[in-house]
Structure 1
Amino acid sequence: MDLDMKTLCDLGGIEVNTQPFILIIFGGGGDLSQKKLLPALYNLFKLDKLNNDSYILSYGRKERTQAEYRTLVKTSVEKTFKGKKVNIENSFLEKFSYFNGDSEKLEGIDNINKYICKFKGIKKYQIIFYLATPPNLAKNILKLIQNLELCDKPFKKKIVMEKPFGIDTVSAINLNDNLHKIFKEDEIYRIDHYLGKETVQNILFFRFGNSIFEPLWNRSYIDHIQITVAEDIGIGSRGSFYEKAGVLKDIIQNHMMQLIALVSMEPPTNFEADCIRDEKVKIFKNISSMSEEYMAENLVLGQYGHGKIKQEDVAGYRDEKNVSKDSNMGTFFSGKFHVDNWRWAGVPFYVRAGKRLNKKLTEIVITFKTPPLKLFGNTCRDILANELIFSIQPEEKISLSINMKYPGVENYPHPVEMNFNYSKLDTISLTAYERLIVDCIKGDLTLFARQDGIEEMWKVIDPIVKYFNKINFKFPNYPAGSWGPVESRHLLEKDNRKWRI
């Protein structure tokens, strides 16, 4: 059963009214830029959502001519169209300029300074620094930015930083301190691309815009919540990064914590950025602390071994490039969390995330309590609980499962799913990175993490990382193409529950 989309007003497309900007991308030739940023900028250009008087400067270690870098931009965009021919306009490519430099030396950044000084009316531009680089380079890049004089004239500046933000609570605090020497808090955009996805944003609208659900959104009616962030891909070329971060710092500390907060937060006073972020921080602070005994019973860490993905043999984690042959790093995590407040007391949040799992899937499942009485006799003994499902990938949709009577004489239950699928809308929908770039240009901080939120998320994860670092695991403990270690299933089975998938 599909739901029709109706509106009460003329939406009129996506309006983006921005002042001219100069976007400076550190790591402009890296994987993140090629796979995400450059295609996103092109799509915004095609949608006429970028100010015409705007420019993009890329800063990287590799020596390239301007022509070589613009060819890289063109190739990166073409790859997103999966082989389809696309005519990339010169007017887009001409927005790009490339500067070679080392993050530990000032020569390259001086060249950027000289280049920007040639712009007429520099005061009209906002300068956006984007750190598309490994986290360990952040401190050096901030020093470079401090030395970017920009012709000794005042200008509106912003900075965008990718996750993970720091490697623990202490490093996150130090990084925030360094940032605040150059930028005000409302100039800092700590990006988590999951928050740019339409379904994730719609969680709040669904909850607070529908009077039929919010009264049920509590411990009295909800049995438990499942959140899955599964990928069928391995770590690819990110071996060096993953050996330092693992699944806990790569996914749980940021994506998973944000999804938990969106599902469980209290209604904000309004939809302004700080009001929403205030409520998220309260959730992070209310996530129950865990003893080592609790973690031993309710947390599972895993690492993938050899297996099959889509009938093709794939290597185990320890055989990936730049990974130690006896690595103890986790690529899978599952656990049971609790939010200690009035609304959620006693409701378990089951989470799992990992690489090389059975399929690509990100979803949030709200499972409601079953009816207290079996009114329809023994034939309905196994009536299913109602479930509300926010699917984030591979497709973005919202589903509600309800029980109906199956046609006929007998009282047989028949589950029916009501679906709202974004792919069926005849409207423009921005990708996550496109949406977040637009919000940064506009100055909307709603979908970006705040300083205290980052630090509180680390406070939840640090004890878990510390606990697992003391254990010598017998890895690998799940084959690629499975749903993770068998202990992950046991986590729910001992509570008489099971993963939806």
Structure 2
Amino acid sequence: MTSSAQPDNSLPLDMIIFGGMGDLAMRKLLPALYMAHLHGNLPAATRIISTGRQDFNREAYLAFVEEHSRSFISDGNFADDAWRSFLQRLEFVRVDVQQDDLSALAKVSREGAIRVFYLSTAPSLFTTICEKLSAAGLVDANARVVLEKPLGSDLASAVDINEAVGKHFAESQIYRIDHYLGKETVQNLMVLRFGNSILEPLWRAPNISSVQITVAEEVGVGSRAGFYDGTGAMRDMVQNHLLQLLCIVAMEPPASLAPDAVRDEKLKVLRSLRRFNLAAIARDTVRGQYIRGASGNQAVPGYLEEKNVPPDSGTETFVALRTYVDTWRWSKVPFYLRTGKRMERRSSKIVVEFANPPFPLFPETPGGVANRLVIELQPEEAIKLQVMAKQPGSGMHMQQVELNLDLHSAFTQRRAEAYERLLIDVVRGRLTHFMRRDELEAAWEWADPIINGWGALNEKPRSYAAGTWGPSESFALLARDGFSWFE
């Protein structure tokens, strides 16, 4: 294993993307790096080296980037001069990581540069790539490796990946990326919680009655069907994205903003999550699979009709569940998690519902007194506090109103996209918003019994029409506790 000494960020940068011709590189990574370049957030001596099996020279690669990546940069952010100077940073090295050594890459990479290896490949290749990087002499104290999800399909495979990567990179050099942790509003939740004294006394049971976390996608599986059918919503979304959001909501104040101080508190949350037995799985989880319906006013196929999906597939495209964080702060507060594909609209949000006042002074109010903190992550980012106010006129009739923290008008600074923000963190050696090994493994320790329990129960996923909010059973999951999903 290499030294864990603090890297020298004054050095030149070689950003090396394995899978550099892939969908993620074209849609997210190169546009994010362009934006970092445009705003002067890359070292002056930066090169971006993409690898792939294609028999391309540099000119053919740049033409490919023009065709497949440029369109993902908005017109408002595109500048001809900046684009041309960005393209000058790009290189291409033909490498088949399963067949070739990395001597060709070693010849191109600069001695003494910070090397960031972004593994935008199948996780099954992580071990091979890291072994060959080490054998080629490309791993030193200034090297960093970025690992894309999914990191394994269960605890055992995650441990194997961590062990294999850890033979060549110190933990301080490993960046396990979850782009949700790069979202401005997610990071703002840390400030909202720990930078303001007004919320902290209320941020606990019994003041909070429930927490909802929803990540809804309007799209279906599309071209990812071959991958997705072996993964499902639990592995693809719940085990990583939703659990990370839960951790930030539920964690205790860290001693500092140092990476390990923050990640220590998140780990405590993961280890406090209530484990599921078969009875709890049957009672508190809902699996769904979309059937044909309408999305965006167009008819769309069901999951079993998608290309590369087996006709008898039992893979879930929707998960809803109720869980608890068994700590003093969160005793008896249900956390409801929900994610799905082909839902009514794209929407990601965290909803913290506060308890009703102990005495109903205004008993005519339908549904009680609803105070909620709504943190919207996408498609727009916003933080809203819902409170009750008196309606104009005679009598004491209440109506719900919103106190809206308009982040767009409050700040004049540009708001970077998640991948751009996280890539800059990698370049600058900031680990706070990346998962540590024990975090990843604790998440799998919680998720594995649920996945295995579904297999033991041998029940098919519940059907829901594309363009809806999921199976009716997910609404019943909350209704029996007196809650409903916040749409």
Q: Match for 2:108: what amino acid?
A: Y
- Mapped to 2, the partners of 1:277 and 1:474 lie a distance apart of 37
Match of 1:403 among 388, 408, 411: 388
Offset, 1:421: 2.7
Give yes or no for contact 1:380–1:411 (8 Å, CA) kept in 2: no
Q: Which residue of 1 aligns with 2:115?
A: 127
1:325-404 equivalences in 2 (<5 Å): 325-376=311-362, 378-380=363-365, 382-404=367-389
Distance 1:439 1:82, change over 3 A: closer
Name the stretch that deviates more: 85-94 or 491-500.
85-94
Match of 1:57 among 49, 60, 64: 49
1:229-260: CA deviation from partner (whole Å, max 9, x where unpaired): 00000111111211111101100010011011
- Mapped to 1, the partners of 2:269 and 2:400 lie a distance apart of 33
Offset, 1:205: 0.6
Match of 2:19 among 24, 27, 31: 27
Give yes or no for contact 1:38–1:76 (8 Å, CA) kept in 2: no
Give yes or no for contact 1:199–1:391 (8 Å, CA) kept in 2: yes
- Mapped to 2, the partners of 1:374 and 1:493 lie a distance apart of 21
Note if 1:115 corresponds to 2:92: no
1:41-440 equivalences in 2 (<5 Å): 41-81=33-73, 86-87=79-80, 89-107=83-101, 109-116=102-109, 119=110, 122-123=111-112, 125-150=113-138, 156-376=142-362, 378-380=363-365, 382-424=367-409, 425-440=411-426
1:284-312: CA deviation from partner (whole Å, max 9, x where unpaired): 00000111011101100011111100110
Distance 1:496 1:89, change over 3 A: closer
Distance 1:194 1:233, change over 3 A: same
Q: Secondary structure at the match of 2:392?
A: coil
Give yes or no for contact 2:210–2:352 (8 Å, CA) kept in 1: yes
Offset, 1:130: 0.4
- Mapped to 2, the partners of 1:435 and 1:237 lie a distance apart of 27
- Mapped to 2, the partners of 1:165 and 1:344 lie a distance apart of 29
Q: Match for 2:20: what amino acid?
A: G
Match of 2:29 among 30, 37, 50: 37
Q: Secondary structure at the match of 1:380?
A: coil
1:138-175: CA deviation from partner (whole Å, max 9, x where unpaired): 2222222122224xx95511100011111111111111
Q: Secondary structure at the match of 1:366?
A: strand
Give yes or no for contact 2:287–2:462 (8 Å, CA) kept in 1: no
Give yes or no for contact 1:78–1:86 (8 Å, CA) kept in 2: no
TM-score by length of 1: 0.92
Offset, 1:74: 2.6
What is the root-mean-square deviation in Å for CA atoms of aligned residues?
Answer: 1.6
Distance 1:448 1:175, change over 3 A: same
1:482-501 equivalences in 2 (<5 Å): 482-501=468-487
1:317-371: CA deviation from partner (whole Å, max 9, x where unpaired): 1122221111110010000010001110100001100100000000000000011
Q: Secondary structure at the match of 1:103?
A: coil
Q: Secondary structure at the match of 2:373?
A: strand
- Mapped to 1, the partners of 2:79 and 2:70 lie a distance apart of 7
- Mapped to 1, the partners of 2:39 and 2:306 lie a distance apart of 39
Q: Which residue of 1 aligns with 2:451?
A: 465
- Mapped to 1, the partners of 2:14 and 2:425 lie a distance apart of 15
Consecutive aligned runs of 4 or more in structure 1 exceeding 6 Å deviation? none
Give yes or no for contact 1:287–1:339 (8 Å, CA) kept in 2: yes
Q: Secondary structure at the match of 1:349?
A: strand
Distance 1:159 1:30, change over 3 A: same
Q: Match for 1:379: what amino acid?
A: E
Q: Which residue of 1 aligns with 2:434?
A: 448
Offset, 1:82: 5.5
Offset, 1:209: 1.0
Q: Match for 1:413: what amino acid?
A: M
Q: Which residue of 2 aligns with 1:8?
A: none
Q: Which residue of 1 aligns with 2:4?
A: none
Offset, 1:379: 2.9
Q: Which residue of 2 aligns with 1:13?
A: none
Give % identity. Answer: 39
1:383-437: CA deviation from partner (whole Å, max 9, x where unpaired): 3320001100010110000111111111100111011133333211111000100
- Mapped to 2, the partners of 1:476 and 1:216 lie a distance apart of 37
Give yes or no for contact 2:273–2:446 (8 Å, CA) kept in 1: yes
Offset, 1:179: 1.1
Give yes or no for contact 2:286–2:462 (8 Å, CA) kept in 1: no
Give yes or no for contact 2:28–2:419 (8 Å, CA) kept in 1: yes
Give yes or no for contact 1:207–1:213 (8 Å, CA) kept in 2: yes
- Mapped to 2, the partners of 1:74 and 1:200 lie a distance apart of 32
Offset, 1:477: 0.4
Q: Match for 1:105: what amino acid?
A: Q
Q: Match for 1:387: what amino acid?
A: R
1:70-97: CA deviation from partner (whole Å, max 9, x where unpaired): 1222334421246787525332112111
Structure 2 gaps, min length 5 = 1-8
Give yes or no for contact 2:52–2:94 (8 Å, CA) kept in 1: yes
TM-score by length of 2: 0.95
Count of paired positions: 476
Distance 1:155 1:271, change over 3 A: closer
- Mapped to 1, the partners of 2:407 and 2:58 lie a distance apart of 39
- Mapped to 1, the partners of 2:348 and 2:83 lie a distance apart of 35
- Mapped to 2, the partners of 1:387 and 1:361 lie a distance apart of 17
Q: Secondary structure at the match of 1:156?
A: coil
Q: Match for 1:91: what amino acid?
A: S
Structure 1 gaps, min length 5 = 1-16
